[in-house]
């Protein structure tokens, strides 16, 4: 088995290689002055099962992914498993207006072209997996959150009902409280966010979401949870798509962390063990 990490996922590829006890495959990557990418594989992949890890954010990483797939398939490999830790464009899973591209379908069809299997992590909409004609699966980061927050929190919260499953799985593993936040509009300018059933007074809580981008929802939730008596509020996400000013908004958070699906300084949680379990 060989593991290749694209430039956007070197951290995660290295963690996976360590967990599986395999050396990361030697590769070369660079960008030319005009922004075009150069990739080269420096080892023989003949007869190997190859794992390629490359997140698809921002867009330039999609092109790089296709170049790695092309280079890998020049060898007579056994199979290629493409792992897109963050699968971009999953929000556009259907045409909302006539003439729109179904972006999730377009990406799925092209990623699977030179893959035998595709794996994603906490994809924004699992219905996107239906666009794949080859084996495709989505892994949850819930157990990774549980490992990280062990001994640090008394409750795990989801910012909404839609993400409740992820947060509840983490809380079940930890054996701590769980709830999701309900939004109530008080007036045109005021929104109240309160846990549906749980009192957070005196508790250390973590808000767990799939994506943090602008941070507006997390900032509001953190402020109001502290007003409701929470002693600590941590924010965590699988995919840290952090806008430039996001951390300025999250000053009330005691900690902001993300997994290594999208690599940043906040990537303190690895999903390498979740991926390794697939190949164990």
Query: Catalytic site residues?
Result: 183
Q: Any idea what DSSP says for residue 126?
A: G
Q: Which helix (H) or strand (E) holds 63?
A: helix 60-73
Contacting residues for 227 by C-beta, under 8 A, at least 6 apart: none
User: Which of 118, 117, 87, 93 shows the shortest CA–CA distance to 105?
Assistant: 93
Q: What is the 3-state secondary structure (H, E, C) of 2-29?
A: EEEECCCCHHHHHHHHHHHCCCCCCEEE
Residue 70 and residue 203: Cα distance in Å, rounded? Answer: 51
Give the helix, strand, coil percentages of the chain, each rounded to 5: 30, 30, 40
Cis, peptide link before residue 273, omega less than 30° from 0: no
Residue of 139, 157, 248, 244 lying closest to 195 (CA atoms): 157
């Amino acid at each position: 088995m060989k593991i290749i990490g694209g430039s956007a996922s070197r951290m995660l590829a290295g963690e996976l290689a360590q967990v599986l006890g395999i050396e990361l495959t030697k590769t070369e990557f660079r960008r030319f002055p005009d922004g075009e990418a150069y990739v080269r594989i420096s080892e023989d992949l003949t007869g190997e099962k190859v794992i390629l890890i490359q997140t698809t954010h921002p867009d330039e990483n999609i092109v790089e992914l296709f170049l790695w797939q092309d280079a890998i398939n020049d060898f007579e490999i056994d199979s290629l498993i493409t792992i897109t830790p963050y699968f971009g464009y999953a929000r556009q899973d259907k045409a909302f207006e006539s003439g729109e591209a179904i972006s999730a379908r377009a990406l799925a069809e092209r990623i699977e072209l030179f893959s035998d299997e595709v794996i994603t992590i906490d994809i924004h909409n699992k219905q996107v997996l239906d666009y794949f004609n080859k084996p495709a699966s989505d892994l949850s980061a819930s157990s990774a959150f549980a490992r990280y927050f062990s001994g640090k929190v008394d409750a795990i919260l989801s910012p909404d009902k839609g993400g409740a499953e992820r947060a509840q799985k983490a809380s079940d593993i930890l054996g701590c409280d769980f709830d999701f936040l309900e939004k109530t509009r008080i007036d045109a300018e005021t929104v109240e966010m309160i846990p549906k059933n749980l009192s957070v007074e005196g508790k250390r809580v973590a808000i767990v979401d799939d994506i943090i981008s602008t941070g507006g929802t997390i900032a509001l939730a953190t402020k109001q949870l502290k007003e409701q008596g929470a002693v600590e509020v941590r924010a965590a996400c699988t995919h840290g798509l952090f806008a430039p000013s996001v951390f300025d908004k999250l000053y009330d958070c005691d900690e902001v962390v993300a997994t290594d699906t999208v690599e940043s300084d906040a990537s303190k949680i690895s999903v390498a063990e979740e991926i390794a379990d697939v190949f164990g």
